[in-house]
Each structure stands twice: as C-alpha cells, then as structure tokens.
Amino acid sequence: MDIGDNIAPIPGLMNKTFEGNLVNPVTAVKQLSYKFIQVKGDGSVIPVYEEDVIKSNSKNLSADVQTDQTFVDDAMFFHMEEADCFFAIGDVPCAIDNNVGKVDFNDLETANAHEGKQVQEYVDRTFGGAADEGTTLLLTSDHQDNLPGSTSARNLRPNSPLHYESQREDLSSKCEAQGLGNSLNTVKVSDSAVLELASDHKPMFRDDMSGRGLHDAFKSSFGQDTCVNDKEWLRHRILCGLQNFTDKDGFPGHFETEMPSQESEDSMILIPGNDLAKSVCCSLINTHDTEKLVVGRSVHPEGQLTGDAVVAAFCEVDRAGSGPVTKNTAVCGKRSRHQRFIEETLETDDKCRWRGSEMLSMVNQVVAAVVPRGRRVQRVCPNKNINFIMNDFGGGNKARVRPVDSVSAETSRSESCDDATYYASLDESSDDSIETFNVRKNGSRRKNHRQWTLTEITKLIDGVSKCGVGKWTDIKRLLFANSTYRTSVDLKDKWRNLLRASGVPMRSNKVKPQKNMNVPIPQSLLRRVKELANIHPYPRERKLDAYEDETSVSQSSKASN
C-alpha cells in the first residue's frame, strides 16, 4: 500500500515546493551536485560545510591531488577563504572583487591558460554548457562589513594558493574561524537560465539576534528545538549546519547526557517510486500534528545509483504547505565521475537525537509505510550527520531513506520503526561498506540478508552466557527486543556459525575455520564463544551421545551377527 494513495495531497504543497521552488530538475542535477553548495530560496547559493564530505574525500585529498582527475571532477568548492575571500573551482581559486568575486571566462584565458581551461570545463560540466563566454559567476556578500579584504579589488589569481589540503583545513575550521558575526557569503550565479528558483529568501540571522530568534533559527535549520541556550553555540550550530558537534570542545554537553545508551546504528533504505516525496510529505503532515517537516524530492539524471554517492537537498515545508522555509544541499560519500545525484536530507547531529521530537516517529511511520521489502538497500554515509535521507529519483527505480542511526527508547517504540529501520552498528560502518538486501521476488519469502554486527554478536554471546544455549527466544526477548529482523532461529543459526568460526567441534561439522567472513570476528569474541561452548554445549540435549550409543549398539549387534 502506498500511503500516497490514501492521503489527499496538500493543495499547493507539491507544486509550490517541488515544482516551483526547487530548481528545475535537470538543471538541479548539474547545479547542485557539487559539494559545498547550498541553494537558498532566492536562488543564491552558499557554501555548505560538510565535514563528512571532507572525510570521505580525505583519501583523495591526501593523494596527489594534482593528478587525481577523479577528485577534480568530483569536487567543486565554492570556498570562501577567510583571509583572502577566495572560492575555488576545482583547484582554481577565484577572488572577490569588492564583494563581487568574478570568474569571468573572458579573463580566465589571459590569467592562466591551463586553469582557465579547467574552470571552463568545470563550468561546462556544471552548467551543461549553459555557461559560456560572458557567463560570470558573481560572488557577493550579504554582510559587507564582515567581509575582510572586501575593499581591495582582486582579480583571479593564476597561482593557486588554495590547494586541497589547505582547503580541507579551512573547511573544517571554517565555522569556528567564521565566528559569530560573519554570515556565510553568498555566491550568486548570474545566469538566470541556470538557476530557476523562487524568491523566498530569508535573511540569515544577525549578531544581535535574540536567544529566542536563535532558537527559531535553530529549529528552522534542524527541525527541532534545542535545550541549549548558549547563544554562541546556537549561532555556531546554525552557521555550521552540517558540521559535527562531536569535534567541538567547549560547547555545552547537554546532548551527551541525553544520548541513549543503545548502540548506534544506521542504515539506508531504498524507496522506489515517483510519488514518494508526495507520499512522505502528505503522510508526515497528516499523521502528525507538527509545525514543520522536512521533505524533499531529488532528481536522478543518469539512471544509476551507486552506493558511494549521495548528493542531497531538502526543503522544509510547514503544515500549510507554504514552504520551503529553508533549503539545504549536502553531499556525503564519494561520487563516481559520471554519476551525480541529488537527494533530500534532513540533517542533524548524531549527538542531537530526535529525542522528544516527533520527527523520528514521523519518519519511521512513513518509512514503514512506504518501504517495500526486498529492495536494494545500501548503507552509505556512516557519518552521523545526515540522519534522514529521502529520495525520489526521476526514474522511480530507487530511492533511499536513512533513518536516524539510533533511536531513543521513547521515540523508537513505534512498531513501525523496527520493520522499516534497518540497523547496523557503527563499529563496522565504513565508507565502503555496502549492505545489499536481496530482492525478494514475488512469491519468494526469502528474508533479507542482514549483516551481523559485532555489537549484535556481542549481545548474542552475552545472551548465551546469561540464558544458556538454546534459550533463543529468551535471548531475543532480552537483548534483541528491538531487532525484529532477528528471529530466535536467526540467533540459533548465528550461534552455530560462531561455534563453527571459533573452531568448536560439532556434529556434522568439519572443523575448518570458515572461509572469508564478511565480518571478521575478533579473537576475543571467539574465545568467549569457545568458553561458553564448554559451559553450554550447543545441542543442549546431547543427541551426540544417543547417536553414538545407537551406532555402537547397531555396530555391536552387527558385529555379533
């Protein structure tokens, strides 16, 4: 059942939000599929600082960037460097001229033939050839007073002072360096044919914004309020948006105390269908009495989704459908050169759970309703920043939802959560780890495979030590209550595998250590399994003895005959 079928669309919502205020889909792909670009309501773009993007590219960054064409292809940093007011396209820096930085193609070639060509190619790819000679990228600032060096005119600097390493540092420290007074600068693309956005610009907060205003801004940005009253912290968070709390020292630790003790888990669920965004949107609005929600729709230009690429954009709409209130784009993971995607995200920090918020249950309900089983599911972006991603690819073949990586007891209690939320523990997440769920064909009841995580294995071992072997339902009830995808049979099977892996001799079992396991089990865990196997032999009633007796009897009788 598609919930979209049963829920009437909110008048004006879809049109306004997705058709009207979002960039033209085809254009959007070209326009937004670059890292660190945030599209604002007025059609301007501002940089997005996404630490995980940096992380995900760190390999490339640390590699020889000059020869890493892939990285050059993948990255387009509209980077405002604090001191010099540069932004960079690829590794070509562009300077600010009296608050209007220009990358004028007429100047490029004279400045530096090679880099000019690079920029030209870049913009060609980005804008699909829409930009050519005469197209100018304008760089402006909302807060001219806060723009250092803005009075001195600069031209494009042929020698690239912003190499990738320094970019990474700059970006990661960007928010802090930017401080409280400076707003993010705005990069405007003057070619109106490139960007078609509604004019719903909301100015960024100002220095003198009250605490209340900051809370509103925070709520607008993150979809929930915060108990933190520290103004600097609030400004910081709003400014940094996608940046992780965890690296920030000296900020109030309220969130830590609210951290649920559960293991952190994350997952991505692919959702097909063109109407997903609609369904989600309507469902969220209708099933919850919420002021605001985050929905999105993405465009899928080239038909293929790979697990290593996520480009995201989302918009917030309010109950009346009068959004978008804010927009964000973010990128996580790596993208292959020719595959660029946009997807919608609601991002928040992993330390900042949706505890007490309705958002999670909203998301989970929707996910439970719209996620069909047996779709390919890939776990990507193990970063904790992007907690929720909804996709609605144009092809309708794949979309994904990534619920929050962990849920508190209060918010996860809804049954739908367990059905739809696939967890994997953080301790095994990596950028490259992809979890594939087999497609369940019609009629086939094959359960989706789900990788056992080390935390799950540990829980299983604990459960066996507490309840004893064979008490699978007890173990499940005690330790896997929230994991509906693990049945007692699953636990039993896994224990059997663990015994096999730990070399415990079993009946009808060759003692060979098992071939390449997806998850190499630490020796310490295997040791525990071994010890428990001594205490609690696997087949509880040792049929082995009976079998041996029987055979010996038959043998003896046979011998006697």
Partner DNA sequence: CTTAGGG
Partner DNA sequence: CCCTAAG
Task: Note the residues at the interface with DNA (CB under 7 A).
Answer: 445-450, 469-474, 485-486, 488-490, 492-493, 507-508, 538-540, 543
CB of 488 to DNA, least distance (A): 4
CB of 391 to DNA, least distance (A): 25
CB of 405 to DNA, least distance (A): 20
In this structure, what is the dihedral angle of CA atoms 273, 274, 280, 285, given to the nearest 10 degrees? -150
Cα distance between residue 141 and residue 445, in whole Å: 57
CB of 229 to DNA, least distance (A): 45
**Nearer residue to DNA within complex by CB, 26 or 546:** 546
CB of 498 to DNA, least distance (A): 12
**How many C-beta neighbours within 10 Å does residue 391 have?**
30
Burial 449-473 (b: 16+ CB within 10 A, else e): ebbbbbbbbbbbbebbbebebbbbe
CB of 466 to DNA, least distance (A): 13
CB of 502 to DNA, least distance (A): 16
Sort 494 into a burial class: Cβ within 10 Å, 0-12 / 13-18 / 19+: middle
**Nearer residue to DNA within complex by CB, 82 or 493:** 493
Exposure of 403 in the CB half-sphere (CA atoms within 13 A) = 29
Task: Name 103's Cβ contacts closer than 8 Å, sequence gap at least 6.
Answer: 89, 94, 119, 123, 136, 137, 156
Tell me 146's DSSP state.
Answer: G
CB of 523 to DNA, least distance (A): 23
Q: Which phi-psi region, left, alpha or beta, contains residue 516 (left: φ > 0; alpha: ψ -120 to 50)?
A: beta
**Nearer residue to DNA within complex by CB, 237 or 471:** 471
Residue 66 corresponds to which tokens in the numbers above? 């000059």
Cα distance between residue 82 and residue 552, in whole Å: 84
Closest CA to 132 of 114, 151, 108: 108
**Nearer residue to DNA within complex by CB, 24 or 488:** 488
Closest CA to 542 of 488, 500, 506, 502: 506
Cα distance between residue 537 and residue 504, in whole Å: 10
Identify whether the C-beta of residue 379 lies closer than 8 Å to the C-beta of residue 268.
Answer: yes
**Nearer residue to DNA within complex by CB, 114 or 449:** 449
Residue 330 corresponds to which tokens in the numbers above? 């973010």
**How many C-beta neighbours within 10 Å does residue 477 have?**
13
**Nearer residue to DNA within complex by CB, 320 or 489:** 489
**Nearer residue to DNA within complex by CB, 293 or 460:** 460
Exposure of 45 in the CB half-sphere (CA atoms within 13 A) = 35
**Nearer residue to DNA within complex by CB, 338 or 543:** 543
CB of 536 to DNA, least distance (A): 9
Give the E-state strand segments of 324-363 in sequence order.
Answer: 327-333, 344-347
Residue 550 corresponds to which tokens in the numbers above? 């029987």
CB of 402 to DNA, least distance (A): 20
CB of 535 to DNA, least distance (A): 14
**Nearer residue to DNA within complex by CB, 259 or 521:** 521
The radius of gyration of the chain's CA atoms, rounded to the nearest angstrom, is 27
**Nearer residue to DNA within complex by CB, 251 or 485:** 485
CB of 530 to DNA, least distance (A): 17
For 104, the 3-state DSSP assignment is strand
CB of 546 to DNA, least distance (A): 9
**Nearer residue to DNA within complex by CB, 508 or 561:** 508
**Nearer residue to DNA within complex by CB, 262 or 473:** 473
CA 456 to chain centre: 22
Listed as own residue / partner, the contacts of 210-214 with beta carbons closer than 8 Å and 24 or more positions apart are 214/238
Identify whether the C-beta of residue 18 lies closer than 8 Å to the C-beta of residue 25.
Answer: no
Task: Name 304's Cβ contacts closer than 8 Å, sequence gap at least 6.
Answer: 339
**How many C-beta neighbours within 10 Å does residue 62 have?**
11
**Nearer residue to DNA within complex by CB, 16 or 450:** 450
